[in-house]
Amino acid sequence: MPDPIADAPLVRIVDDQLPVREAVADLLASVGLAARGYASVAAFRQEDDPARPGCIVLDVRMPGSSGFDLLATMTAEGEGLPVVFVTGHGDIPMAVRAIKAGAVDFLAKPFNDQQLIDAVNAAIREDGVRRTTRNIAADAARRLSTLSEGEYEVLRLTVEGLRVKQIASRLTISEITVKTRRARLMQKLEATTLLDLLRLFDKGR
């Protein structure tokens, strides 16, 4: 049975200043959002559960690894949480760098409470989109993995636009064999149309 708490969004506040972590957590709690603070990037990396949805409110400058270091690492890993940068040392070049690096928003102090709440909600929505996309891709890859080598080759040539006769010639098999493999692969992939095959093949590669 799903755990409603584990499935609820969690806002991670990564900032080396305790008063900032507490103030942001209190603000988010006032609008019903759960939050947890981390004093450093290292603490976040060690203690956080990335499976739980949500986002990160991230300081730019901290002892040890910076906020930009964390964002770069998560981007390289491919499954990081959306980031909202908050800093007291921001300028336009830093903001541009943050957005180009993939941050959802960049807030320079002073900012009003609603700006942060709006940015966090946008980041949580972005996380939902990312997770849905990853789940769809994983499901497509799982289905494709059930195909035999022969079935996969028929699928690959089908999505390239080849007809049954052309596929038979390319693979040096009979047209009946092509049709049989195609029927089996469509059943395994739970596909009913060529468009279904194209989408699955594209998402599952």
Residue 161 belongs to domain with CATH number: 1.10.10.10
CB 14 within 8 A of CB 41: yes
Shared domain for 16 and 67, answered yes or no, is: yes
Alpha carbon distance 169, 173 (integer Å): 7
pLDDT in tens, 169-190: 999 999 999 999 999 999 999 9
What is the count of structural domains for the chain? 2
Residues 68, 28, 69, CA angle at the centre, nearest 5°? 10
Shared domain for 100 and 162, answered yes or no, is: no
For residue 68, tell me if it sits in a domain.
yes
Shared domain for 121 and 155, answered yes or no, is: no
Alpha carbon distance 22, 45 (integer Å): 20
For residue 106, tell me if it sits in a domain.
yes
Query: What confidence tier does 119 reach under pLDDT thresholds 50, 70, 90?
Result: very high
Which of 77, 104, 133 represents a domain boundary (last residue)? Answer: 133
Shared domain for 29 and 104, answered yes or no, is: yes
Alpha carbon distance 38, 204 (integer Å): 36
Query: What confidence tier does 5 reach under pLDDT thresholds 50, 70, 90?
Result: low
For residue 66, tell me if it sits in a domain.
yes
Domain that holds residue 199: 146-204
Q: What token pair was written down for 111?
A: 């900012």
DSSP state, 80? Answer: P
Closest of 21, 16, 51, 18 to residue 35, by C-alpha: 21
pLDDT in tens, 120-158: 999 999 999 999 998 999 999 999 999 999 999 999 999
Residue 66 predicted with pLDDT over 50:
yes
The CATH number of the domain holding residue 114 is: 3.40.50.2300
| Amino acid (one-letter) located at 83 | V
Residues 20, 37, 117, CA angle at the centre, nearest 5°? 65
Stated pTM of the model: 0.80
For residue 138, tell me if it sits in a domain.
no
Which of 133, 155, 183 represents a domain boundary (last residue)? Answer: 133
